[in-house]
Structure formats: C-alpha cells, structure tokens
C-alpha cells in the first residue's frame, strides 16, 4: 500500500487515514530519512526513490539555478 501526497495538501489518499506529518519533514542532501519511498525535491520537483539505507542523495545529485534555491527533499510517496 502506498500513501500518496495530494498536491500541496497534506492529505493521504488512503481510506480511513488521517493527516500524516511524515509528509512535512524536509531533508537536506546527505540526511538520513525515516521512511523508504519516493522523495521529491522542493526546488525543481525532481523525484528520487529511497530504499535500503534511507540516505537522501548528496548535494551533487543534481544542480539548481539560483531561483530554485537549496535542494530540499520531501516525502512524496510512502511505501508501506
Ligand atoms: Zn532539485
């Protein structure tokens, strides 16, 4: 069962589920995350799958323009 974030709302599309704060945690490059799943970069919407090890990709994973700001990852799909 995968939980999917709906747009910018902290809403999980699973019957009976409630607001889940795991989708609001931002991770910096190289951080260790708590959950396996698909993470999305808040600056450019690039997606990455985090599995074993649960380590967020390093700073050099991809490049941002100045307007995109720092690379920050947020959980997008939570693999349960
Ligand atoms: Zn990015």
- Ion ligand 1, residue ranges at CB < 5 A: 41, 43-44, 46, 71
- Give distance in angstroms: CA of 48 to centre of ligand 1: 10
Strand partners, 29: none
- Give distance in angstroms: CA of 47 to centre of ligand 1: 8
**43 vs 13, more confident:** 43
- Give distance in angstroms: CA of 46 to centre of ligand 1: 5
pLDDT in tens, 32-74: 998 899 999 999 999 999 987 899 999 999 999 999 999 999 9
- Give distance in angstroms: CA of 49 to centre of ligand 1: 14
- Whole-angstrom distance, CA of residue 18 vs CA of residue 60: 35
- Measured CA to CA in angstroms, residue 65 lies from 43, 44, 51, 62, 71 at distances of 9, 9, 27, 10, 10
Where in the chain are the domains?
A: 2-79
């Amino acid at each position: 069962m995968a939980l999917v974030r709906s747009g910018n709302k902290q809403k999980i599309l699973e019957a009976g589920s409630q607001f889940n704060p795991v989708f609001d945690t931002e991770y910096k490059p190289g951080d260790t995350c708590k959950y396996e799943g698909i993470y999305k970069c808040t600056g450019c919407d690039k997606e990455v799958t985090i599995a074993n090890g649960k380590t967020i990709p390093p700073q050099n994973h991809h490049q941002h323009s100045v307007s995109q700001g720092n690379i920050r990852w947020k959980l997008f799909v939570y693999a349960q």
